[in-house]
Amino acid sequence: MSAHPEQQARRHFQEELTALEDDILRAGELAERALARAMEALVERDPAKAEAVIAADDELDEVYLSVERRWLEVMALQTPVASDLRLMSV
Whole-angstrom distance, CA of residue 81 vs CA of residue 55? 40
Overall residue count recorded for the chain in this entry: 90
Average model confidence (pLDDT) for the chain? 86
pLDDT greater than 80 at residue 88: no
- Under 8 Å between Cβ of 56 and 34: yes
What pTM, to 2 d.p., does this model score? 0.73
pLDDT class of 83 with cuts at 50, 70, 90:
low
